[in-house]
Chain A
Amino acid sequence: MAHEHKLEIFRGLLKFKSNTQKIWGVLIFLSLVTAIEVVLGIIKPAFLVQTSFLGMKLLNWIFIILTLVKAYYIAWDFMHLRDEKSSLRRAIVWTPIFLVSYLVFILLFEAVYIYDIFKNGFFAWDF
């Protein structure tokens, strides 16, 4: 129940006069990011689709990074994590980050393995 709000976003680059103003500022930023995602999703620039980085298209990496950016601002400003004690914030944020990266790593690794079996093994599924 911290009543005082931290009013700076972008590491102090932008400082708002009141909490209400900050909320609208964050909304504009989130809408902008979503608009960029949608435009990229419709246009699908060729060089982003053809370039691949760590087994995934560059475009998809951009989408995922922009998603994490949006998640950060929703959690920090809408869910007031910015105003909470850092110990609470760390407990909430790092627990899922650790568990989810682990889960995603093992599942995707396994999926690529199964993909190889389907592709190269003596196994017919596309008939």
Chain B
Amino acid sequence: MDTTVTTGNEENVWGGGNRPLNASYGKMMMWFFIVSDALTFSGFLASYGFSRFKFIETWPIADEVFTHVPFFHGNYPMIYVAFMTFILIMSSVTMVLAVDAGHKMKQNKVIIYMFLTIIGGAIFVGSQAWEWATFIKGDFGALETKGGRVLQFVKADTGERAAISEFSMTLEEDRVADARDTGIWFTDNESLPNYSLNEVIEGFKANPNILIRTEKINEEGEKTLLTREQSLGRLKDAVRVVEGANLIRNEYGSRLFADFFFFITGFHGFHVFSGVVINVIIFFNIILGTYERRGHYEMVEKVGLYWHFVDLVWVFVFTFFYLV
């Protein structure tokens, strides 16, 4: 051990100023932030897994929930979200290229690649907003039972989903949404759905081609379809019409699914948004030549780490919300 202090390099080991991990302070801190943020996201995804395993037999099937592509009608599960994933990976690539150009001190190239990265991020956030809007608006509408379970409708002849607007009757009814001055004083009522419970029930009785589909997943991995008699029996449990999804009601099935979807993709979307904002700030700094004067482009590398992390999280969100 007496030989350890003889070399000149190691005199300074405990005196500060050296970099045992060969990374600058800022970069280390970015990594620490990323690790802790990764743990936060893992917490969310693990609790999603918890709720899902708890209701493993009734959980909504993602392929039936996210089926829309902007500007196209029809049933295209997975396509749009695959596009979003590709956009995010692509913007990650332009970010690495920006970092690489920064190492070589090529200011103009960094500007171009940062710009493309920002565009990619903006497209992604926009797509996510659209995805949210579609999810909130809903597809077919459903009934909710006393126990909070969701009953969906299927056409018996084709096996396709039936929207409540297709078979509901129009009845002469007075439907009033409670306001604060007429209803319970401390709460506004939920906004009225387009059809009342009675209209859906009467329409169902009048149309023998409609069957009820419950949340329960059968052995083939599909939602259980009731017979006409069972459907009429189950209809008695219904207490309200649900259209679309929010934090309290969800026409697609378990409301926890909607809660976790809003929370986790929302939290991720917020990360992407703040990533875009930070990228824009760095982008202007590059244009102004701040890093050229500083002599290195390490800031680009640091925001790059954050940006890749956002991409990394999306890879997991994509798997656990849309694939598994």
| A interface, CB within 8 angstroms of B | 1-3, 19-20, 23-24, 27, 30-31, 34-35, 37-38, 41-42, 44, 49, 60, 63-64, 66-67, 70-71, 74-75, 77-80, 84-85, 87-88, 91-92, 95-96, 99-100, 103-104, 107-108, 110-112, 114-115, 118, 124-127
CB-based contact B323/A78 at 8 Å: no
Contacts of A78 in B (CB 8 A): 92-93, 95-96, 304, 308, 311
Contact indicator per residue, chain B 19-41, by CB within 8 Å of chain A (1) or not (0): 01111100110010011001100
Mask, B185-203, CB within 8 Å of A = 1, is 0000000000000000000
Q: Is the CB of B296 within 8 A of A103?
A: no
**B145 located at the interface, meaning its Cβ lies under 8 Å from any Cβ of chain A in the complex:** yes
Determine whether the beta carbon of B319 is less than 8 Å from that of A67. Answer: yes
| CA gap between A104 and B39 in the complex, in Å | 12
Nearest B residue to A34 via CB reads B85
Please judge, given known A-B contacts A38-B82, A104-B46, whether A74 and B38 are in contact too, CB under 8 Å. no
Q: Closest CB of chain B to A61's CB: distance in Å? A: 9
| CB–CB B50/A107 < 8 A | yes
B contact residues vs A (CB 8 Å cutoff)? 20-24, 27-28, 31, 34-35, 38-39, 42-43, 46-47, 49-56, 58, 63, 77-79, 82, 85-86, 89-90, 92-93, 95-97, 99-100, 103, 145-147, 149, 215-216, 221, 237, 296, 298, 301, 304-305, 308-309, 311-312, 315-316, 318-319, 322-324
Question: Contact: A41 with B22, CB < 8 Å?
Answer: no
A111 to B47, CA, bound (A): 9
